């Protein structure tokens, strides 16, 4: 396979510059974010679905845990969510490498509209009729509308509180794994990739999406209590890795503290070069340890478990997994 383009940045300066003001991220998802590829033949998921702090989670553990120490890993999914067999198999792969994997339901039971619901073109070699073409375009428009509505229901203000609840509960349930790893690790795919960045950052408590709920208003809070409140929150993770993230803006890199590894797709409209390069520039100038690998000739979503006929894509999928695994193991 063609080698991914690699741009590895070590900390180079202590500059404290922010990227230029960002245009809003495109509010859209790829079909690869909302539907699964065929699952690997003969492979079944081995973890369990349970609850942490009343949030549904899929948990996968190493076979010898807790007799052998393990680290804690959050896996943040694409739009198909924690019930997806492919996502569960992905979690199991990390568990087999020595991680207790917690994969939360980011969507409160409301997974993304499935792109496979779009009717296929009529099964004929003849060109589609005007009516057939109209039906296909109407279905595509309807799907786009449903996805836009779904995204409006699952914003940063909704997702971050879910993640904080899960993290707080995991600190009790898996205290041994967090202690052994010196913190929590995270990997994220598509929709979940953005939240790896947010969990890796230090943000002001008043920042949009920080989600800190104060017990009283600032005007009624005693002065000594107000002074004791933290001015920032995060980072929540020790290190993170993300693959073909979606819904990311340049501002999502602001405040990054934890080391991050980025799997990116060449010419990916879901994660534009402009956003990726602004992020790289910010991380370099702000002394954030990071690596970025750009994979050519693969579709958005390729790093998620799923079968492809193309050997190049299959090879790249394995390489991306090894990149992400190596990063969190080294940190």
In whole numbers, what is the pLDDT of the chain averaged over residues? 82
How many of the other CB atoms lie within 10 Å of CB of 150? 17
pLDDT, greater one: 75 or 230: 75
pLDDT band, very low/low/confident/very high, at 32 (cuts 50, 70, 90): low
Does pLDDT of 280 surpass 70? yes
If you ran DSSP here, which 8-state letter would residue 41 be given? T
pLDDT digits (tens, 9 = 90+) for 176-213: 999 999 999 999 999 999 999 999 999 988 654 544 43
Phi, psi for residue 228 in degrees, rounded to 5: -85, -10
Share of the chain above pLDDT 90, in %: 62
User: CA dist 289 to 17, 32, 87, Å?
Assistant: 15, 29, 27
pLDDT band, very low/low/confident/very high, at 149 (cuts 50, 70, 90): confident
Indicate the SS3 state at residue 216.
coil
Strands 71-76 and 99-104: parallel
Does pLDDT of 3 surpass 60? no
pLDDT digits (tens, 9 = 90+) for 104-118: 999 988 777 764 433
Q: What percentage of the chain's residues is helix, strand, coil (to nearest 5)?
A: 35, 15, 45
């Amino acid at each position: 396979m063609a080698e991914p383009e690699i741009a590895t940045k070590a900390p180079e300066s202590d500059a404290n510059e922010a990227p230029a003001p960002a245009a809003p991220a495109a509010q859209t998802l790829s079909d690869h974010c909302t539907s699964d590829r065929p699952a690997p033949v003969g492979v079944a998921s081995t973890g369990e679905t349970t609850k942490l702090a009343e949030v549904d989670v899929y948990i996968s553990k190493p076979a010898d845990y807790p007799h052998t120490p393990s680290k804690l890993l959050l896996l943040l999914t694409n739009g198909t969510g924690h019930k997806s067999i492919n996502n569960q198999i992905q979690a199991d792969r990390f568990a087999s490498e020595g991680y207790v994997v917690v994969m939360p339901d980011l969507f409160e039971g409301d997974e993304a509209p499935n792109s496979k619901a779009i009717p296929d073109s009529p099964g004929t070699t003849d060109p589609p009729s005007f009516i057939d073409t109209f039906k296909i375009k109407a279905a595509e428009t309807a799907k786009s509308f449903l996805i836009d509505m779904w995204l409006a229901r699952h914003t940063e203000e909704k997702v971050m509180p879910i993640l904080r609840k899960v993290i707080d509960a995991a600190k009790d349930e898996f205290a041994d794994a967090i202690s052994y790893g010196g913190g929590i690790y995270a990997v994220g795919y598509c929709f979940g990739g953005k939240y790896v960045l947010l969990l890796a950052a230090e943000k002001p408590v008043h920042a949009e999406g920080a989600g800190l709920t104060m017990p009283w208003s600032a005007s009624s809070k005693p002065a000594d209590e107000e002074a004791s409140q933290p001015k920032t929150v995060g980072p929540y993770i020790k290190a993170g890795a993300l693959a073909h993230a979606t819904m990311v803006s340049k501002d999502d890199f602001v405040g990054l503290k934890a080391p991050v590894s980025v799997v990116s797709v060449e010419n990916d409209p879901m994660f534009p070069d402009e956003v990726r390069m602004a992020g790289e520039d910010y991380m370099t100038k702000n002394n954030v340890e990071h690596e970025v690998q750009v994979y050519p000739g693969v579709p958005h979503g390729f790093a998620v478990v799923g079968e492809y006929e193309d050997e190049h894509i299959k090879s790249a999928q394995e390489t991306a997994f090894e990149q992400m695994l190596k990063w969190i193991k080294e940190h």
